[in-house]
Structures are given as C-alpha cells and as structure tokens.
Structure 1
Amino acid sequence: MDAFDAIPDPVVIDILNKVGDVKTLIRCRSVSKRFNSLATQSDSLLLQLDQILGTTESDSEIDSPIASFFRSLFKSIHGFLPIFSRPANPAEILTRSPKTPAQILAGFNRIRNLEVELYGGDVKLEKGAAVKWKAEFGETLKTCVIVAFRSATVNTSATESPIDGVVESDSEFVCGLKTRVVWTISALMAASTRHYLMRDLVKEHKEMEKLTVRDREGEGTVVMDAAGMKEYRETEARVDEKGFERVRDRTVVPSVRMSMRHAPSLKLKSGICLEAATLVVVRPTGVASDDNDAELATEAFAADGGDCMYGEAVTALLKRRRNVLEMNSF
C-alpha cells in the first residue's frame, strides 16, 4: 500500500490548503479519485487569472496568414473526427477560454478565504506617476483609500522631516486638482470593475468569509468581508426578482464624499521625494463620518506588506490640510 494512502483525509486537506494555488489544485484533481474529491474541499485559495487563462506573450502576437490557415484547417478536420474525442478532464479548464472566476471555481464548494490575482493594473497614467488604492465593497462601494504621486526621486542626503513649506500658485493648484480628481475617478472605476467581475462568484459561494482581489503589480485591492458579500447577494436577489436589465461592465459608483490631502513636493524621511503627492479617502455621501481618515488610511497602507514608501507618505499626508469634495454617482 502507498504510505500516502494512510494519511487521514483532514491532514491531506490541510496540506492542500497550504498549496492554495487553484491551478495546482485543479491538476491535483487529475491524479486520482481521492485527490479529485479532496482538492475541491480546500477552503483557502489563490486564483491567478493570467495563469488559469493560459495567456502568454505569444498569444498576443498577430498570427501570420500561413499559421492562421493551418489552424483553421486543423479545426475543420477535428470537427469531422468526433471519434477521437475523450471524456472531460478537470485539468482542461486550465486551457479552455474564456472562463470567468465562477466557472473556474465551480468544483470548489468549501471556499472560505479567496484571493484573486489579476494580470495587471487598470489605471493608465503618465510615465513616472503611480496610483495605489484599496477599496472595500458590500452591495456597492463602502470606502476607498487612494495614494498617488506624479514622480518619485531619491535624495540620499535627505534626512530631515517632510517639507511643509512649499506653496502652490493658483494656476498650479487648479491644474493639480484636475489631475488628482482624474486619479481618483480612475481608481474608483478600476475598483468597481473588479467588484463587478466577482459578482457570480460571490452569489454562488455563499460560504465565503473573505474575498480579496488584487493585481500582480500591486496597484489596487478590492476586499469584501462576509457581511459585505451577504449584503451584495440580498441586493442582487431583489434586483433579479424585479427583472431589471443590466447593461454595464462595472458596479455603479454611488455619490461620494472625498477627503483629499496633497503636497506639491513631499520629502520623506527615507530620502524619497514625491511630486504632487496625494491622499484621498472616499466614502458614500451621507454614510459615514470623516473622523476616521487616519484609521482607514493607516490600515490600508501603513502596514501593507512592508511597503514603507506608501506608509510613510500616508503618515506625512495625514498632517496636511484636508479638502472635502463631493462627486455624483457614475
């Protein structure tokens, strides 16, 4: 007897939970009947969409006419030879496309904690600029914290505290405000798009307690807790009952109140100088107070995986004067 067969099922499931990666677990399902049964009981998963969809650099290249001809010919021949078809294999989901997250995870019925990693960021910026954000959703947006800057340079001789005396001209302020609003809208649209992408997954996996959606570049993160997902399911059920038609590719952003702080030039204690540094805390209008800006921003960035530059920028920007703006739903 194989010694592995003597290991109790709960221990095997615990090992598979440590693996986590959905691509690997789907392949494990093809090993044996036992693995096929146990792999789907993993409750802590990492779904990397770029790997699951099988995207590679060569996939994006334009086919030559000859390659296209032979590919079409092969498909035509294959269509006339059903005798060579074989039963579906769980691992085939790795190469079939397109697949939504809900379709990929259809066989996993005990998901508690799910992390979804996307292939790249959504916000298109000028060269050198950076935007990083974290948004929490339920039925719709609950909060979003955004940190952005136009450029970052390193000054190894800088050891003093962040600069507080830089004064903007009126024209610089107006131009800078337009840029900061564009950054904010772009981040909110990216967050709402990711939230909408997970709609079927949230509705089908009612046992989930935490969902995190991030991109590989670390640009933005969407989080949903158990209460937020329950709220979303109940709202969607009411909408489905009324038969409303959905013609959109993202969740509608509600009217929001933006608490914005910025610095034309922010020199950090680490020696990094950020130009047009901006911190924005976004909440739905009339839902929550502005008193916990520091708590939200610190939780989102100060302890974010050792990303000290963003944490230090948040700490410095929280000392700046706050400007409050409101924006209609979009």
Structure 2
Amino acid sequence: MDVFDGLPDAIIVDILNKVGDVRTLLRCSSLSKRFNSLVPQTESLILRLDQVGTTESQPGSPVGNILKSFHGLCSLFSKPAKPIPTANLSPNIPSKILSSFDRVKNLEVELPGGDASLEKGAAVKWKAQHGETLETLVVFAFRSASTVSSSPASSDGESDAEFVTGLKTRVMWTISALMAASTRHFLMSGVVKEHEELESLMVRDGGGEGTLVMGTEGLRAFRKMEAAQNRSVVPSVRMSMRHAPSLKLESGICLESATLVIVRPSEGYSDVGDDELATEAFAGNCMYGEAVVALLKCRKNALEMNSFKLLLGLNNGSCGAFCVFPFC
C-alpha cells in the first residue's frame, strides 16, 4: 500500500503547501485521482514564469489547438536564453496557469527579468506596496560599485550644480521603478480578481531588481476597483530623494552616485515612518541595508510628479508598454 493512502487529506494538502512550486504541483496532479483532487486545494503557491508563451487558439483541428495551447503553457516554465522583459507578459498568462487552483491564499510570482535598461555596472533596486494603486515605493540605485580599503561609512556632500547634473538620471531611475511596479500591478489584475481568497501577493524579478507586495487590505481594494482593461494609473506622488556622489561603506565597498528615493502618493502625504520603510525594504541585503542607513543621514530633497497613465498594448496574448500620457 502506498504510504500516502494512510494519510488524511488535510496532511497531504499541508505537504503540498510546503512544496509550493506550481510546476511541481501540476505534475503531482497527474499521479492519481486523489492527487488530482487535492492539488487544487493548495493554499500557498510559488509561480515562476521563465519564458513568454501564447495560448491563443489557431486555425486547425481541435486536437491540434489543444496541443498548441498545452505547449504554450508549458513553454512558460522552460528556461530562456536571456531574460524576457516583464512588459511582454499578458495578465491572462498567470491567471490561466493558476486556473486549476481553487483556494490560493498566499502567492509568490517570480518573473523572468527586470525592465530597467541600465549602463554597465549600474543597479536599481525597488520595493513597492500596492493596493488599488501605489501606496509606497522605495528605490535604491547606484551607478557603479568598487572595492576600497576599509573605512567608516560616510557620504560626501555635493554642490548644487553637481546635484542638478545627476538629477535627470536619478529621476529616470525612479520613473523606471514606478512604471515597473505599475506593470506588475496590472499583470496580477486577473489573478487577484479571480482568486477572492488571496490574502498576500508578492511579485519579484528573478534578477532581484524589484518586488511588488500586496496585503489583505490592498487586495480587497484592488478587487473593488473598476476594470481598467489596458491601462494602469500611476498617481501623483511626492518623492523624498537622498543622494551621495561617493558612498563608502564599512564593508569596504564604494558606491558611486548612490541614491535613495522614498515615494508616496501626494494625496494625504506624510513622511512619518519613511526611515523605517526604507530600512525594512532592504533589510535582507547587507550591502544595500548598510547603504540605505548611510543615505538616510544625507540631505533630503523633495520632488513632486503628476499622475500619468501607463497604456499597455495587447497583441497576440502579450502586452507591452508603449506610451505614457501625463495628467493635467
């Protein structure tokens, strides 16, 4: 007798929750009738999208269309030669893959790659909290990193002229993070509305560029909003920006043009808790965490940006950002 035959259904479901990986669980569902009935009850899932595929039906025999659709879904789990931009993913892709699961409460989604086009050596990391729209965004970026002899953490000052010279790049880093977070928010719209029991959602990049987080209240607000079809709105925001031309860390690393930006919606704006928000966003990374603590001691500069719509063109099962219209 199979040892699983002696286990109650609740214990098997708990084991499946520990497995989490959607690809593995879908394979498990084909093992037996019992597994086929229990896999959809899994509450905690990890969905890794490695490649863009299409599941649109094509002219031909019904069997051929089924095989093409199955191949399209399977291709999403295959390893690509290079990362696929997130903007090329359609909201119906994750919702179709997760359509077999009925009780999803905790979902992690790993995307194939980031969106930012950066010069060699540069890095932009961000973490966003979303509800119906953006709630908070923390961006940390630098132009390059090098190893130096150990020295106390410090951040050199800069003249107004030097600040203005690099301001364009820092603003573009922030806008790139805002657009990336908004794109992921739109990408998860189908999943959030179809899985009403969902309590927590995390969307992250395989390369570690950014993370989008949605809690219970944010998910509830997102479900209530009217369907936006092919657009995602970035609200008017206020940005608290700190910058150091050369930031030397105690770990012996020197970051050039290190930047920390904390973004909140303009409506009801308050900077209370900004320091805690920034340190929590990168608490799991020693270098970034140390850099953020050092940047919080730098002079703060306030900026504002009007709301804009990020339009997403739907074509052959994919969506790509192609235009940004500012609000008046």
* TM-score (structure 2 length as normaliser): 0.82
- Is the contact between residue 262 and residue 277 of structure 1 (CA under 8 Å) also seen in structure 2? yes
Say which of 183, 190, 196 aligns to 2:173. Answer: 183
1:253-292 equivalence runs, <5 A: 253-292=234-273
The CA distance in 2 between the partners of 1:235 and 1:86, in whole Å, is: 35
2:30 aligned residue = 30
Say if 2:119 is the partner of 1:123.
no
Structure 1 or 2: more helix by fraction: 1
Unaligned runs of 5+ in 1: 56-74
The CA distance in 2 between the partners of 1:295 and 1:2, in whole Å, is: 51
- Cα RMSD after superposing both structures: 2.5
The CA distance in 2 between the partners of 1:162 and 1:123, in whole Å, is: 28
Relative to structure 1, the CA distance from residue 87 to residue 132 in structure 2 (aligned partners, 3 Å threshold; closer, same or farther) is closer
The total of aligned residue pairs comes to: 291
The CA distance in 2 between the partners of 1:2 and 1:48, in whole Å, is: 30
Say if 2:114 is the partner of 1:136.
no
The CA distance in 2 between the partners of 1:257 and 1:137, in whole Å, is: 16
CA drift of 1:6 comes to 1.2
- Is the contact between residue 153 and residue 272 of structure 1 (CA under 8 Å) also seen in structure 2? yes
1:321 aligned residue = 299
Say which of 147, 153, 156 aligns to 1:154. Answer: 147
Structure 1 counterpart of 2:210, which letter?
A: G
Relative to structure 1, the CA distance from residue 86 to residue 293 in structure 2 (aligned partners, 3 Å threshold; closer, same or farther) is closer
CA drift of 1:211 comes to 0.2
Say if 2:190 is the partner of 1:203.
no
Say which of 78, 96, 111 aligns to 2:104. Answer: 111
**CA offsets 1:138-190 (integer angstroms, 9 cap, x no match):** 000000000000000011x22x32233x3434432112111110100001000
Structure 2 counterpart of 1:43, which letter?
A: E
**CA offsets 1:22-50 (integer angstroms, 9 cap, x no match):** 00111111111111111111101000011
1:169-248 equivalence runs, <5 A: 169-236=159-226, 240=227, 246-248=229-231
**CA offsets 1:213-261 (integer angstroms, 9 cap, x no match):** 000111100000011011011112xxx5xxxx7443xx21100000111
Rg (Cα) greater in structure: 1
- Is the contact between residue 29 and residue 91 of structure 1 (CA under 8 Å) also seen in structure 2? no
SS at match of 1:287: coil
* TM-score (structure 1 length as normaliser): 0.82
Structure 1 or 2: more strand by fraction: 2
**Amino-acid identity (%):** 63
SS at match of 2:234: coil
Relative to structure 1, the CA distance from residue 117 to residue 94 in structure 2 (aligned partners, 3 Å threshold; closer, same or farther) is same
- Is the contact between residue 23 and residue 94 of structure 1 (CA under 8 Å) also seen in structure 2? no
2:74 aligned residue = 95
Relative to structure 1, the CA distance from residue 85 to residue 139 in structure 2 (aligned partners, 3 Å threshold; closer, same or farther) is closer
1:68 aligned residue = none
1:62 aligned residue = none
Relative to structure 1, the CA distance from residue 253 to residue 313 in structure 2 (aligned partners, 3 Å threshold; closer, same or farther) is same
